[in-house]
Structure 1
Amino acid sequence: MPELPEVEAVRTGLEQLILGKEIDQVQVFWPRIIETPEVESFKIKLIGEKVEAISRRGKFLIFHFTHYEMVSHLRMEGKYEYHQQTDELAKHTHVMFDFTDGTQLRYLDVRKFGRMTLLPKGLASEYSGILKLGPEPVPATFLLKPFTAGLKKSSKAIKPLLLDQKLVTGLGNIYVDEALYEAKIHPEQPADTLTSKEVAALYQSIIDVLARAVEAGGTTIRTYKNALGEAGKFQVSLNVYGQTGLPCPRCGTAIIKTKVAQRGTHYCPACQKLRQRKMR
Protein backbone atom coordinates (compact mmCIF):
# COMPACT_ATOMS: atom_id res chain seq x y z
CA MET A 1 0.00 0.00 0.00
CA PRO A 2 -0.48 2.26 -1.80
CA GLU A 3 -0.78 0.32 -5.07
CA LEU A 4 -1.46 1.58 -8.60
CA PRO A 5 -5.10 2.66 -8.06
CA GLU A 6 -4.18 4.61 -4.93
CA VAL A 7 -1.20 6.28 -6.60
CA GLU A 8 -3.40 7.24 -9.56
CA ALA A 9 -5.91 8.78 -7.15
CA VAL A 10 -3.09 10.75 -5.51
CA ARG A 11 -1.94 11.92 -8.95
CA THR A 12 -5.37 13.16 -10.03
CA GLY A 13 -5.83 14.92 -6.69
CA LEU A 14 -2.47 16.66 -6.96
CA GLU A 15 -3.33 17.78 -10.49
CA GLN A 16 -6.35 19.62 -9.11
CA LEU A 17 -4.31 21.23 -6.35
CA ILE A 18 -0.86 22.29 -7.51
CA LEU A 19 -0.65 22.55 -11.31
CA GLY A 20 0.89 25.85 -12.34
CA LYS A 21 2.18 26.71 -8.88
CA GLU A 22 5.70 28.06 -8.44
CA ILE A 23 8.02 26.77 -5.71
CA ASP A 24 9.34 29.43 -3.34
CA GLN A 25 11.38 27.09 -1.11
CA VAL A 26 11.71 23.44 -0.13
CA GLN A 27 12.15 22.22 3.44
CA VAL A 28 13.53 18.74 4.18
CA PHE A 29 13.37 17.34 7.72
CA TRP A 30 14.37 13.73 6.95
CA PRO A 31 17.26 13.77 4.43
CA ARG A 32 17.07 10.06 3.58
CA ILE A 33 13.82 10.69 1.73
CA ILE A 34 15.90 12.41 -0.97
CA GLU A 35 17.83 9.85 -3.06
CA THR A 36 19.54 12.31 -5.42
CA PRO A 37 20.90 14.94 -5.65
CA GLU A 38 22.32 16.00 -2.27
CA VAL A 39 19.62 17.54 -0.10
CA GLU A 40 20.90 21.13 -0.32
CA SER A 41 21.16 20.85 -4.11
CA PHE A 42 17.64 19.33 -4.24
CA LYS A 43 16.27 22.31 -2.33
CA ILE A 44 18.12 24.95 -4.37
CA LYS A 45 17.34 23.45 -7.81
CA LEU A 46 13.59 23.52 -7.14
CA ILE A 47 13.39 27.21 -6.24
CA GLY A 48 11.46 29.03 -8.98
CA GLU A 49 10.34 25.81 -10.67
CA LYS A 50 6.69 25.57 -11.75
CA VAL A 51 4.58 22.41 -11.61
CA GLU A 52 3.76 21.73 -15.27
CA ALA A 53 2.26 18.23 -15.02
CA ILE A 54 2.02 15.16 -12.80
CA SER A 55 2.13 11.69 -14.33
CA ARG A 56 2.39 8.13 -13.08
CA ARG A 57 4.34 5.04 -14.13
CA GLY A 58 3.38 1.93 -12.19
CA LYS A 59 3.45 2.99 -8.54
CA PHE A 60 5.80 5.94 -9.19
CA LEU A 61 4.57 9.52 -9.27
CA ILE A 62 6.43 11.86 -11.64
CA PHE A 63 6.32 15.61 -11.00
CA HIS A 64 7.17 17.55 -14.15
CA PHE A 65 8.71 20.92 -13.32
CA THR A 66 10.06 23.65 -15.61
CA HIS A 67 13.56 22.19 -15.85
CA TYR A 68 13.38 18.99 -13.80
CA GLU A 69 11.36 15.85 -13.13
CA MET A 70 10.92 14.40 -9.66
CA VAL A 71 10.27 10.67 -9.27
CA SER A 72 8.42 9.94 -6.04
CA HIS A 73 7.67 6.52 -4.57
CA LEU A 74 5.28 6.43 -1.60
CA ARG A 75 6.28 2.91 -0.51
CA MET A 76 4.20 1.68 2.45
CA GLU A 77 2.79 4.76 4.18
CA GLY A 78 3.84 7.84 2.23
CA LYS A 79 1.25 10.49 1.41
CA TYR A 80 0.96 14.06 0.16
CA GLU A 81 -1.16 16.70 1.86
CA TYR A 82 -2.06 20.19 0.65
CA HIS A 83 -2.03 23.02 3.18
CA GLN A 84 -1.72 26.70 3.79
CA GLN A 85 1.80 27.49 4.97
CA THR A 86 0.33 28.75 8.26
CA ASP A 87 -1.40 25.43 9.05
CA GLU A 88 -0.17 23.47 12.06
CA LEU A 89 2.54 20.95 11.23
CA ALA A 90 1.49 17.33 11.63
CA LYS A 91 3.70 14.58 13.00
CA HIS A 92 5.71 12.58 10.43
CA THR A 93 6.00 15.54 8.01
CA HIS A 94 9.35 15.11 6.26
CA VAL A 95 9.36 17.32 3.15
CA MET A 96 7.50 20.57 2.42
CA PHE A 97 7.23 22.42 -0.88
CA ASP A 98 6.29 26.07 -0.26
CA PHE A 99 4.58 27.80 -3.17
CA THR A 100 4.71 31.52 -3.91
CA ASP A 101 0.95 31.88 -3.33
CA GLY A 102 1.20 30.86 0.34
CA THR A 103 0.09 27.25 -0.14
CA GLN A 104 2.20 24.22 0.64
CA LEU A 105 2.55 20.58 -0.40
CA ARG A 106 3.66 18.32 2.45
CA TYR A 107 5.04 14.80 2.27
CA LEU A 108 4.26 12.67 5.33
CA ASP A 109 5.52 9.15 5.97
CA VAL A 110 5.18 7.23 9.23
CA ARG A 111 7.77 4.62 8.24
CA LYS A 112 10.06 6.99 6.31
CA PHE A 113 10.41 4.45 3.47
CA GLY A 114 9.33 6.79 0.66
CA ARG A 115 11.89 8.27 -1.70
CA MET A 116 12.25 11.27 -4.07
CA THR A 117 14.73 11.65 -6.91
CA LEU A 118 15.24 14.85 -8.89
CA LEU A 119 16.38 14.41 -12.49
CA PRO A 120 16.91 16.69 -15.49
CA LYS A 121 13.76 17.17 -17.56
CA GLY A 122 12.99 14.20 -19.79
CA LEU A 123 15.00 11.64 -17.80
CA ALA A 124 12.38 10.24 -15.41
CA SER A 125 11.74 7.35 -17.82
CA GLU A 126 15.39 6.33 -17.36
CA TYR A 127 15.16 6.11 -13.58
CA SER A 128 16.34 2.62 -12.56
CA GLY A 129 13.10 1.61 -10.83
CA ILE A 130 11.00 2.70 -13.79
CA LEU A 131 13.20 0.95 -16.37
CA LYS A 132 12.39 -2.41 -14.72
CA LEU A 133 8.63 -2.03 -15.00
CA GLY A 134 6.39 -4.03 -17.28
CA PRO A 135 3.52 -2.48 -19.24
CA GLU A 136 0.68 -0.54 -17.65
CA PRO A 137 -2.37 -2.79 -17.05
CA VAL A 138 -4.51 -1.39 -19.85
CA PRO A 139 -5.34 -3.10 -23.18
CA ALA A 140 -3.35 -0.60 -25.25
CA THR A 141 -0.03 -1.55 -23.63
CA PHE A 142 -0.66 -4.81 -21.74
CA LEU A 143 -0.93 -7.43 -24.47
CA LEU A 144 -2.02 -11.05 -24.04
CA LYS A 145 0.65 -12.63 -26.26
CA PRO A 146 3.77 -11.35 -24.44
CA PHE A 147 2.04 -11.89 -21.08
CA THR A 148 1.43 -15.53 -22.03
CA ALA A 149 5.03 -15.95 -23.19
CA GLY A 150 6.35 -14.48 -19.94
CA LEU A 151 4.26 -16.83 -17.82
CA LYS A 152 5.43 -19.87 -19.80
CA LYS A 153 9.07 -18.96 -19.11
CA SER A 154 8.68 -19.10 -15.32
CA SER A 155 8.06 -21.97 -12.91
CA LYS A 156 7.63 -19.44 -10.11
CA ALA A 157 4.35 -19.33 -8.18
CA ILE A 158 1.96 -16.97 -9.93
CA LYS A 159 1.46 -14.53 -7.04
CA PRO A 160 5.12 -13.51 -6.46
CA LEU A 161 5.65 -13.44 -10.22
CA LEU A 162 2.87 -10.86 -10.59
CA LEU A 163 4.18 -8.88 -7.64
CA ASP A 164 7.61 -8.33 -9.18
CA GLN A 165 6.19 -5.77 -11.69
CA LYS A 166 7.99 -7.12 -14.77
CA LEU A 167 5.16 -8.82 -16.67
CA VAL A 168 2.69 -6.09 -15.80
CA THR A 169 3.13 -3.15 -13.46
CA GLY A 170 0.98 -1.78 -10.64
CA LEU A 171 -0.15 -4.97 -8.93
CA GLY A 172 0.40 -5.14 -5.17
CA ASN A 173 -0.81 -7.57 -2.55
CA ILE A 174 -4.47 -6.53 -2.56
CA TYR A 175 -5.04 -6.57 -6.30
CA VAL A 176 -3.05 -9.74 -7.00
CA ASP A 177 -5.30 -11.59 -4.54
CA GLU A 178 -8.41 -10.10 -6.13
CA ALA A 179 -7.30 -10.80 -9.73
CA LEU A 180 -6.35 -14.40 -8.95
CA TYR A 181 -9.71 -14.92 -7.25
CA GLU A 182 -11.58 -13.51 -10.23
CA ALA A 183 -9.62 -15.83 -12.56
CA LYS A 184 -10.07 -18.85 -10.20
CA ILE A 185 -6.31 -19.43 -9.91
CA HIS A 186 -4.49 -20.57 -6.77
CA PRO A 187 -1.82 -18.05 -5.71
CA GLU A 188 0.83 -20.80 -5.55
CA GLN A 189 0.06 -22.30 -8.95
CA PRO A 190 3.33 -22.38 -10.98
CA ALA A 191 3.06 -19.83 -13.77
CA ASP A 192 4.15 -22.22 -16.51
CA THR A 193 1.36 -24.69 -15.64
CA LEU A 194 -1.48 -22.26 -16.36
CA THR A 195 -3.70 -23.29 -19.25
CA SER A 196 -4.38 -20.90 -22.11
CA LYS A 197 -7.91 -20.45 -20.74
CA GLU A 198 -6.56 -19.55 -17.30
CA VAL A 199 -4.01 -17.13 -18.75
CA ALA A 200 -6.72 -15.37 -20.74
CA ALA A 201 -8.94 -15.18 -17.65
CA LEU A 202 -6.08 -13.81 -15.53
CA TYR A 203 -5.14 -11.27 -18.17
CA GLN A 204 -8.70 -9.94 -18.26
CA SER A 205 -9.11 -10.01 -14.49
CA ILE A 206 -5.96 -7.92 -13.98
CA ILE A 207 -7.30 -5.27 -16.34
CA ASP A 208 -10.80 -5.39 -14.85
CA VAL A 209 -9.82 -5.34 -11.17
CA LEU A 210 -7.37 -2.47 -11.52
CA ALA A 211 -9.75 -0.44 -13.71
CA ARG A 212 -12.56 -0.80 -11.17
CA ALA A 213 -10.20 0.06 -8.31
CA VAL A 214 -9.00 3.19 -10.13
CA GLU A 215 -12.61 4.20 -10.73
CA ALA A 216 -13.33 3.76 -7.00
CA GLY A 217 -10.34 5.87 -6.00
CA GLY A 218 -8.39 2.92 -4.60
CA THR A 219 -8.77 0.88 -1.45
CA THR A 220 -8.62 2.23 2.08
CA ILE A 221 -7.73 -0.53 4.55
CA ARG A 222 -6.11 1.56 7.28
CA THR A 223 -4.71 5.03 6.64
CA TYR A 224 -4.71 5.68 2.88
CA LYS A 225 -6.22 8.95 1.66
CA ASN A 226 -5.61 10.77 -1.59
CA ALA A 227 -4.17 14.29 -1.84
CA LEU A 228 -7.67 15.74 -1.42
CA GLY A 229 -8.02 13.92 1.91
CA GLU A 230 -10.52 11.42 0.49
CA ALA A 231 -10.54 7.70 1.30
CA GLY A 232 -10.80 5.08 -1.42
CA LYS A 233 -14.01 3.09 -1.89
CA PHE A 234 -12.89 -0.19 -3.47
CA GLN A 235 -12.71 -1.96 -0.08
CA VAL A 236 -16.46 -2.56 -0.26
CA SER A 237 -15.89 -4.59 -3.46
CA LEU A 238 -13.13 -6.87 -2.15
CA ASN A 239 -13.94 -10.56 -2.58
CA VAL A 240 -11.03 -12.19 -0.73
CA TYR A 241 -8.49 -9.66 0.55
CA GLY A 242 -9.16 -9.06 4.24
CA GLN A 243 -12.17 -11.41 4.14
CA THR A 244 -10.67 -14.28 6.17
CA GLY A 245 -13.39 -16.60 7.47
CA LEU A 246 -16.17 -14.97 5.48
CA PRO A 247 -18.06 -16.96 2.80
CA CYS A 248 -16.78 -16.90 -0.75
CA PRO A 249 -19.15 -14.78 -2.89
CA ARG A 250 -19.20 -17.55 -5.51
CA CYS A 251 -19.48 -20.81 -3.55
CA GLY A 252 -19.89 -19.97 0.13
CA THR A 253 -16.67 -21.68 1.27
CA ALA A 254 -14.80 -19.77 3.99
CA ILE A 255 -12.00 -17.56 2.65
CA ILE A 256 -8.64 -18.52 4.13
CA LYS A 257 -5.45 -16.58 4.71
CA THR A 258 -1.95 -18.00 4.33
CA LYS A 259 1.52 -16.74 3.42
CA VAL A 260 2.93 -16.88 -0.09
CA ALA A 261 6.42 -15.47 -0.61
CA GLN A 262 6.19 -13.90 2.85
CA ARG A 263 3.04 -11.99 1.92
CA GLY A 264 -0.35 -12.40 3.56
CA THR A 265 -2.50 -14.08 0.92
CA HIS A 266 -6.26 -14.58 0.73
CA TYR A 267 -8.10 -17.07 -1.47
CA CYS A 268 -11.03 -19.50 -1.71
CA PRO A 269 -9.82 -23.10 -1.27
CA ALA A 270 -12.77 -24.41 -3.30
CA CYS A 271 -12.71 -21.99 -6.25
CA GLN A 272 -8.93 -21.69 -6.43
CA LYS A 273 -7.55 -25.22 -6.28
CA LEU A 274 -3.81 -25.90 -6.55
CA ARG A 275 -3.05 -28.38 -9.34
CA GLN A 276 -0.03 -30.62 -9.29
CA ARG A 277 2.44 -30.29 -12.14
CA LYS A 278 1.92 -33.06 -14.69
CA MET A 279 4.76 -35.56 -14.94
CA ARG A 280 6.39 -35.81 -18.35
Structure 2
Amino acid sequence: MELQQLRYAVALADHRSAPRAAASLKVAQGALVRQLRRLEDELGAVLFQRGIEPVGLTPAGEEFVAMARHAVRAADEAAAKAAAFAGAPRGRLAIGSYPEPPRPRVPELLAEFSKRFPEAEVSLREEASDPLVRLVRRGELDVAIVGTASGQVLEDVDHFETFRDDVAAVVSLTHPLAARYGVRLADLVPETFIDGTPATGLRAVTDEAFRVLGTERAVRYEASDAATVARLAGLGLGVGLLPRTAAERELRAGARCRVVPIENAPVHCTCLVYRSGSLTPPGRAFLALASRYALG
Protein backbone atom coordinates (compact mmCIF):
# COMPACT_ATOMS: atom_id res chain seq x y z
CA MET A 1 0.00 0.00 0.00
CA GLU A 2 1.41 3.38 -1.04
CA LEU A 3 0.70 6.90 0.19
CA GLN A 4 -0.19 7.88 -3.38
CA GLN A 5 -2.96 5.26 -3.40
CA LEU A 6 -4.34 6.68 -0.16
CA ARG A 7 -4.41 10.15 -1.73
CA TYR A 8 -6.27 8.77 -4.74
CA ALA A 9 -8.85 7.04 -2.53
CA VAL A 10 -9.46 10.21 -0.50
CA ALA A 11 -9.77 12.32 -3.66
CA LEU A 12 -12.32 9.95 -5.22
CA ALA A 13 -14.33 9.88 -1.99
CA ASP A 14 -14.32 13.70 -1.81
CA HIS A 15 -15.12 14.40 -5.46
CA ARG A 16 -17.35 11.35 -6.08
CA SER A 17 -16.24 11.36 -9.70
CA ALA A 18 -13.14 9.80 -11.23
CA PRO A 19 -12.63 12.62 -13.79
CA ARG A 20 -12.93 15.31 -11.11
CA ALA A 21 -10.71 13.42 -8.66
CA ALA A 22 -8.05 12.94 -11.33
CA ALA A 23 -8.24 16.63 -12.29
CA SER A 24 -7.81 17.71 -8.66
CA LEU A 25 -4.66 15.56 -8.39
CA LYS A 26 -3.40 16.52 -11.86
CA VAL A 27 -3.11 12.87 -12.95
CA ALA A 28 -4.66 10.89 -15.77
CA GLN A 29 -8.01 9.33 -14.96
CA GLY A 30 -6.77 5.93 -16.13
CA ALA A 31 -3.82 6.07 -13.74
CA LEU A 32 -6.08 6.91 -10.82
CA VAL A 33 -8.48 4.05 -11.61
CA ARG A 34 -5.65 1.53 -12.05
CA GLN A 35 -4.04 2.47 -8.75
CA LEU A 36 -7.33 2.18 -6.89
CA ARG A 37 -8.01 -1.24 -8.40
CA ARG A 38 -4.55 -2.38 -7.32
CA LEU A 39 -5.29 -1.07 -3.84
CA GLU A 40 -8.56 -3.00 -3.68
CA ASP A 41 -6.80 -6.15 -4.90
CA GLU A 42 -4.15 -5.76 -2.23
CA LEU A 43 -6.75 -5.19 0.49
CA GLY A 44 -9.07 -7.92 -0.76
CA ALA A 45 -12.00 -5.54 -0.38
CA VAL A 46 -14.14 -3.40 -2.68
CA LEU A 47 -13.96 0.24 -1.58
CA PHE A 48 -16.03 2.02 -4.25
CA GLN A 49 -19.39 1.13 -5.77
CA ARG A 50 -19.13 0.39 -9.46
CA GLY A 51 -21.15 1.80 -12.33
CA ILE A 52 -22.90 4.68 -10.56
CA GLU A 53 -22.56 8.45 -10.59
CA PRO A 54 -21.86 10.04 -8.24
CA VAL A 55 -19.39 7.43 -7.05
CA GLY A 56 -20.32 5.93 -3.68
CA LEU A 57 -18.35 4.18 -0.96
CA THR A 58 -19.01 0.64 0.22
CA PRO A 59 -19.11 0.05 4.02
CA ALA A 60 -15.48 -1.12 3.78
CA GLY A 61 -14.67 1.99 1.79
CA GLU A 62 -16.21 4.28 4.42
CA GLU A 63 -13.97 2.80 7.11
CA PHE A 64 -10.87 2.76 4.91
CA VAL A 65 -11.20 6.34 3.62
CA ALA A 66 -11.73 7.70 7.13
CA MET A 67 -8.41 6.22 8.20
CA ALA A 68 -6.70 7.09 4.91
CA ARG A 69 -7.69 10.73 5.34
CA HIS A 70 -5.93 10.87 8.71
CA ALA A 71 -2.88 9.08 7.28
CA VAL A 72 -2.55 11.51 4.37
CA ARG A 73 -2.84 14.54 6.64
CA ALA A 74 -0.34 13.06 9.08
CA ALA A 75 2.11 12.46 6.22
CA ASP A 76 1.65 16.02 4.95
CA GLU A 77 2.17 17.41 8.44
CA ALA A 78 5.31 15.34 8.95
CA ALA A 79 6.72 16.53 5.62
CA ALA A 80 5.90 20.13 6.44
CA LYS A 81 7.54 19.89 9.85
CA ALA A 82 10.66 18.34 8.35
CA ALA A 83 10.77 21.10 5.74
CA ALA A 84 10.39 23.71 8.46
CA PHE A 85 13.40 22.29 10.30
CA ALA A 86 15.41 22.08 7.09
CA GLY A 87 14.77 25.73 6.33
CA ALA A 88 13.85 27.97 9.27
CA PRO A 89 10.31 29.32 8.75
CA ARG A 90 11.29 32.94 8.36
CA GLY A 91 10.00 35.52 5.93
CA ARG A 92 6.57 36.69 4.88
CA LEU A 93 3.45 34.58 4.98
CA ALA A 94 0.23 35.89 3.40
CA ILE A 95 -2.93 34.17 4.64
CA GLY A 96 -6.49 34.64 3.39
CA SER A 97 -9.77 33.52 4.92
CA TYR A 98 -13.49 33.86 4.44
CA PRO A 99 -15.22 35.33 7.52
CA GLU A 100 -15.37 33.04 10.55
CA PRO A 101 -14.71 29.54 9.19
CA PRO A 102 -15.73 26.85 11.69
CA ARG A 103 -12.51 24.85 11.42
CA PRO A 104 -9.73 25.83 11.60
CA ARG A 105 -10.57 28.86 13.74
CA VAL A 106 -8.40 31.63 12.34
CA PRO A 107 -7.63 33.85 15.39
CA GLU A 108 -6.49 30.92 17.54
CA LEU A 109 -4.55 29.42 14.63
CA LEU A 110 -2.69 32.66 13.92
CA ALA A 111 -1.90 33.16 17.61
CA GLU A 112 -0.45 29.65 17.88
CA PHE A 113 1.54 30.03 14.67
CA SER A 114 3.02 33.36 15.78
CA LYS A 115 3.95 31.84 19.13
CA ARG A 116 5.73 28.90 17.48
CA PHE A 117 7.36 30.82 14.65
CA PRO A 118 7.92 34.40 15.84
CA GLU A 119 10.38 35.12 13.02
CA ALA A 120 7.71 34.65 10.33
CA GLU A 121 6.00 37.87 9.23
CA VAL A 122 2.30 36.96 8.93
CA SER A 123 -0.49 38.96 7.31
CA LEU A 124 -4.20 38.16 7.07
CA ARG A 125 -6.71 39.20 4.43
CA GLU A 126 -10.41 38.48 4.94
CA GLU A 127 -12.38 38.18 1.72
CA ALA A 128 -15.04 36.15 -0.07
CA SER A 129 -13.92 32.72 -1.24
CA ASP A 130 -13.76 33.24 -5.03
CA PRO A 131 -11.36 36.22 -4.82
CA LEU A 132 -9.21 34.31 -2.31
CA VAL A 133 -8.75 31.40 -4.71
CA ARG A 134 -7.73 33.82 -7.47
CA LEU A 135 -5.19 35.45 -5.14
CA VAL A 136 -3.65 32.04 -4.36
CA ARG A 137 -3.43 31.28 -8.08
CA ARG A 138 -1.63 34.59 -8.69
CA GLY A 139 0.77 33.97 -5.83
CA GLU A 140 -0.48 36.94 -3.78
CA LEU A 141 -1.56 34.61 -0.97
CA ASP A 142 0.32 31.57 0.27
CA VAL A 143 -2.64 29.78 1.85
CA ALA A 144 -6.36 30.56 1.93
CA ILE A 145 -9.24 29.14 3.95
CA VAL A 146 -12.27 29.13 1.64
CA GLY A 147 -15.82 27.84 1.45
CA THR A 148 -16.79 25.53 -1.43
CA ALA A 149 -19.44 23.12 -2.58
CA SER A 150 -18.80 19.46 -1.75
CA GLY A 151 -16.61 17.91 -4.43
CA GLN A 152 -15.98 21.21 -6.21
CA VAL A 153 -12.89 21.18 -8.41
CA LEU A 154 -10.61 24.18 -7.91
CA GLU A 155 -8.41 24.52 -10.95
CA ASP A 156 -4.66 25.23 -10.73
CA VAL A 157 -4.47 25.02 -6.92
CA ASP A 158 -4.06 22.27 -4.35
CA HIS A 159 -6.72 21.93 -1.68
CA PHE A 160 -8.22 19.62 0.90
CA GLU A 161 -11.34 19.76 3.01
CA THR A 162 -11.15 20.60 6.71
CA PHE A 163 -14.84 20.72 7.62
CA ARG A 164 -18.26 19.85 6.19
CA ASP A 165 -21.51 21.43 7.31
CA ASP A 166 -25.14 21.08 6.25
CA VAL A 167 -26.87 24.27 5.12
CA ALA A 168 -29.84 25.22 7.34
CA ALA A 169 -32.73 27.68 7.06
CA VAL A 170 -32.84 30.66 9.42
CA VAL A 171 -36.22 32.32 10.04
CA SER A 172 -37.84 34.80 12.38
CA LEU A 173 -39.53 33.53 15.54
CA THR A 174 -42.93 34.35 14.02
CA HIS A 175 -42.33 32.76 10.63
CA PRO A 176 -44.58 29.74 9.85
CA LEU A 177 -41.47 27.56 9.45
CA ALA A 178 -40.30 28.38 12.98
CA ALA A 179 -42.57 25.66 14.36
CA ARG A 180 -41.13 23.01 12.03
CA TYR A 181 -38.46 20.49 13.01
CA GLY A 182 -37.31 20.17 9.42
CA VAL A 183 -38.13 21.35 5.93
CA ARG A 184 -37.44 20.16 2.40
CA LEU A 185 -35.44 22.43 0.12
CA ALA A 186 -38.28 22.34 -2.43
CA ASP A 187 -40.68 23.71 0.21
CA LEU A 188 -38.57 26.86 0.46
CA VAL A 189 -38.81 27.82 -3.21
CA PRO A 190 -41.73 30.31 -2.80
CA GLU A 191 -39.87 32.19 -0.04
CA THR A 192 -37.80 35.37 -0.31
CA PHE A 193 -34.17 34.49 0.42
CA ILE A 194 -31.32 36.05 2.35
CA ASP A 195 -28.13 34.42 1.08
CA GLY A 196 -24.41 34.87 0.63
CA THR A 197 -22.99 37.18 -2.00
CA PRO A 198 -22.22 35.59 -5.40
CA ALA A 199 -18.48 35.37 -4.61
CA THR A 200 -18.96 33.27 -1.48
CA GLY A 201 -18.72 29.52 -1.21
CA LEU A 202 -22.12 29.45 0.48
CA ARG A 203 -23.79 31.06 -2.52
CA ALA A 204 -22.15 28.56 -4.88
CA VAL A 205 -23.56 25.74 -2.74
CA THR A 206 -27.12 27.10 -2.56
CA ASP A 207 -27.27 28.18 -6.21
CA GLU A 208 -26.24 24.68 -7.29
CA ALA A 209 -28.79 23.06 -4.97
CA PHE A 210 -31.67 25.02 -6.49
CA ARG A 211 -30.31 24.50 -9.99
CA VAL A 212 -30.50 20.75 -9.41
CA LEU A 213 -34.11 21.22 -8.33
CA GLY A 214 -34.73 22.89 -11.69
CA THR A 215 -36.30 25.96 -10.14
CA GLU A 216 -35.64 29.66 -9.69
CA ARG A 217 -35.83 31.55 -6.43
CA ALA A 218 -35.89 35.16 -5.28
CA VAL A 219 -32.68 36.24 -3.50
CA ARG A 220 -33.46 39.76 -2.35
CA TYR A 221 -30.79 40.24 0.30
CA GLU A 222 -27.11 39.27 -0.07
CA ALA A 223 -24.55 39.41 2.72
CA SER A 224 -21.03 38.10 3.17
CA ASP A 225 -21.22 37.47 6.93
CA ALA A 226 -23.44 35.18 8.99
CA ALA A 227 -24.42 37.82 11.54
CA THR A 228 -26.09 39.98 8.90
CA VAL A 229 -27.94 37.02 7.36
CA ALA A 230 -29.22 35.94 10.79
CA ARG A 231 -30.27 39.45 11.76
CA LEU A 232 -32.15 40.08 8.51
CA ALA A 233 -33.91 36.74 8.86
CA GLY A 234 -34.74 37.44 12.49
CA LEU A 235 -36.40 40.70 11.46
CA GLY A 236 -38.71 38.80 9.13
CA LEU A 237 -37.22 39.94 5.82
CA GLY A 238 -36.93 36.43 4.41
CA VAL A 239 -35.50 32.96 4.88
CA GLY A 240 -31.77 33.03 5.53
CA LEU A 241 -29.48 30.20 4.41
CA LEU A 242 -26.36 29.51 6.46
CA PRO A 243 -24.07 26.61 7.30
CA ARG A 244 -25.63 25.11 10.40
CA THR A 245 -22.55 25.71 12.56
CA ALA A 246 -22.61 29.41 11.67
CA ALA A 247 -26.36 29.66 12.26
CA GLU A 248 -26.11 28.06 15.69
CA ARG A 249 -23.18 30.32 16.57
CA GLU A 250 -25.38 33.36 15.84
CA LEU A 251 -28.09 31.93 18.09
CA ARG A 252 -25.58 31.62 20.93
CA ALA A 253 -24.55 35.22 20.27
CA GLY A 254 -28.13 36.36 20.86
CA ALA A 255 -29.72 36.44 17.40
CA ARG A 256 -33.52 36.34 17.67
CA CYS A 257 -34.27 33.72 15.06
CA ARG A 258 -34.91 30.01 14.64
CA VAL A 259 -32.65 27.51 12.86
CA VAL A 260 -34.59 24.92 10.87
CA PRO A 261 -32.73 21.86 9.50
CA ILE A 262 -33.15 21.09 5.79
CA GLU A 263 -33.77 17.49 4.79
CA ASN A 264 -31.06 16.19 2.40
CA ALA A 265 -29.39 19.56 2.87
CA PRO A 266 -26.75 20.89 0.51
CA VAL A 267 -23.28 20.67 2.04
CA HIS A 268 -20.91 23.60 2.56
CA CYS A 269 -17.23 22.68 2.85
CA THR A 270 -14.27 24.55 4.27
CA CYS A 271 -10.99 23.96 2.42
CA LEU A 272 -7.35 24.93 2.74
CA VAL A 273 -6.15 26.17 -0.66
CA TYR A 274 -2.48 26.54 -1.62
CA ARG A 275 0.04 25.80 -4.38
CA SER A 276 2.35 23.05 -3.19
CA GLY A 277 5.04 23.87 -5.72
CA SER A 278 5.49 27.41 -4.45
CA LEU A 279 5.03 27.05 -0.69
CA THR A 280 7.81 28.64 1.36
CA PRO A 281 8.97 27.13 4.69
CA PRO A 282 6.54 29.42 6.61
CA GLY A 283 3.76 28.33 4.27
CA ARG A 284 4.51 24.64 4.83
CA ALA A 285 4.68 25.14 8.59
CA PHE A 286 1.37 27.02 8.55
CA LEU A 287 -0.32 24.34 6.46
CA ALA A 288 0.84 21.64 8.87
CA LEU A 289 -0.46 23.55 11.89
CA ALA A 290 -3.73 24.43 10.15
CA SER A 291 -4.27 20.76 9.31
CA ARG A 292 -3.86 19.81 12.96
CA TYR A 293 -6.20 22.57 14.12
CA ALA A 294 -8.79 21.49 11.55
CA LEU A 295 -8.75 17.94 12.90
CA GLY A 296 -9.49 19.40 16.32
TM-score for both structures, normalised by structure 2: 0.23
Flag the structure with more relative contact order, 1 or 2, with Cα contacts below 8 A and sequence separation at least 6: 2
**Greater fraction helix:** 2
TM-score for both structures, normalised by structure 1: 0.24
